Amino acid sequence: MARFLKKRLKNKGEIPGTPVFVGEQKLEKCRIRIIDYDPKNLEETELPSIGPATKYLDTDTVSWINIDGLHDMDVINEVGEMFRLHPLTLEDITNTDQRPKMVEYDEYIYIVLKMLFYDDKNEEIVAEQLSMIIGPNYILTFQERIGDIFDPVRQRIRKQKGRVRTLGSDYLAYILLDTIVDNYFYLIESLGEKIEDLEVELIEENSAEKLNSLNFYKRELSYIRKSVFPVKDTITHLLRLDSELIGDDVRHFLKDLEDLTTQVNDALEVYRELLTDLLNIYHTNIGSKLNEIIKVLTIFSVIFIPLTFFAGIYGTNFEYLPELHFRYSYFIFWGALLVIALGMLFYFKRKKWI
């Protein structure tokens, strides 16, 4: 499946607001997990279906319901009915080719982002769509597969580290978003170190392998940029949102997160420009080497032009050619050739052509 744009044949011609799964199915069955907490109590369990989650809707606790797997439309529609989600929200959740964005509804806020991972098997960066619903006392997250970058957040909730157990669902949404952005930094820094190492290698040696590496890193950065660049606007819209679902105490954290996304985008642009410069250096080095080769060949050609002229004249078959029967003509001939060749080399050297 294409990395930059996914096929949308399944939802072609469908009525807007109809949830149709677009993407690659990565699980056989949806998994539903819930973490429900307040400052004193914590409940963590895996639900057989979304039905039992109704008991958490009318409580004072904060509930984080995570659904892994987006292909089961029955589960998605049931979640939509239970939490009164807009049909367009359900459509966006199941379409895994969404651009990062934030949409405000009457009873909740919908955010969609990309989580980035490095695939060791294929040696490339892959993206997984994360959809987040921020409600009054709950957070819904929808992921494509099992496994994410939120384990440190779960540990903070379990061990009561920081403010997470004392604040509401808006703060939980913030730390989830912050974790995603921090992971962006980690991937960009790791890729940046390899690019900087390649810069040193490229100065020492040009090869087709180095060109392949440059093109690979350029493609990966473009893929990261597609997923990361719109995140700043998403956080900015969330920060400026006039909604009771986002408290004033959390807005300070969101401001810091906005600054962090600016740094991420700046780092991306720096490495993109560096790769462009490295490609220019590569082609410049190739051109310089080609010019050196052409210069050497030209010098040899220029030297051999008069030598060929002499050899052509004295290689003719005229019987009365001057010096033809002179005893030392052969040695004089070679001496003249050497004098001409060495004289031209001296002249080129004096002119600093070689």
Residue-by-residue pLDDT tens, the chain, 354 positions: 455 555 555 555 455 556 677 767 777 788 999 999 999 899 999 988 888 888 888 788 999 999 998 888 888 899 999 999 999 999 999 888 889 999 999 899 999 999 998 887 777 888 899 999 999 999 999 998 888 889 999 999 998 888 888 999 999 999 999 999 999 989 998 888 888 888 777 777 777 788 888 888 888 998 899 889 999 999 999 999 888 999 988 999 999 999 999 999 999 999 888 888 888 888 887 887 788 778 877 877 888 888 887 777 777 665 666 766 777 777 877 888 888 888 888 877 777 767
Every domain of the chain with CATH number 3.30.460.20 lies at 31-284
Give the pLDDT confidence score for residue 108 in this predicted structure: 93
Q: What CA–CA distance (Å, rounded) separates 110 from 142? A: 11
CATH architecture assignment, domain 31-284: 2-Layer Sandwich (3.30)
Q: What CA–CA distance (Å, rounded) separates 192 from 272? A: 10
Give the pLDDT confidence score for residue 170 in this predicted structure: 93
Q: What CA–CA distance (Å, rounded) separates 244 from 242? A: 7
Give the pLDDT confidence score for residue 230 in this predicted structure: 92
166 and 245 Cβ atoms separated by less than 8 Å? no
Q: What CA–CA distance (Å, rounded) separates 267 from 270? A: 5
First to last CA, the chain: 54
Give the pLDDT confidence score for residue 89 in this predicted structure: 92
Please give the angle made by the CA atoms of 76, 116 and 53, to the nearest 5 degrees: 30
Read off the amino acid at residue 285: N
The DSSP H or E segment spanning 45 is strand 42-47
Read off the amino acid at residue 71: H
193 and 159 Cβ atoms separated by less than 8 Å? no
Give the pLDDT confidence score for residue 196 in this predicted structure: 85
The pairing of beta strand 138-143 with beta strand 62-68:
parallel
| Token code pair at residue 216 | 């690979």
Q: What CA–CA distance (Å, rounded) separates 50 from 196? A: 48
Q: Which candidate, 268, 243, 286, places its Cα nearest to that of 181?
A: 268
pTM summary value: 0.78
Collapsing DSSP states into helix, strand and coil, what is residue 98? Answer: coil
Region for 277 from its dihedrals, namely left if φ exceeds 0, alpha if ψ lies in -120 to 50, beta otherwise: alpha
Give the pLDDT confidence score for residue 27 in this predicted structure: 73
Q: What CA–CA distance (Å, rounded) separates 156 from 160? A: 6
For helices 248-314 and 231-239, angle between their N-to-C axes, nearest 10 degrees: 160
314 and 321 Cβ atoms separated by less than 8 Å? yes
Q: Is the dihedral of CA 173, 90, 187, 222 positive or negative?
A: negative
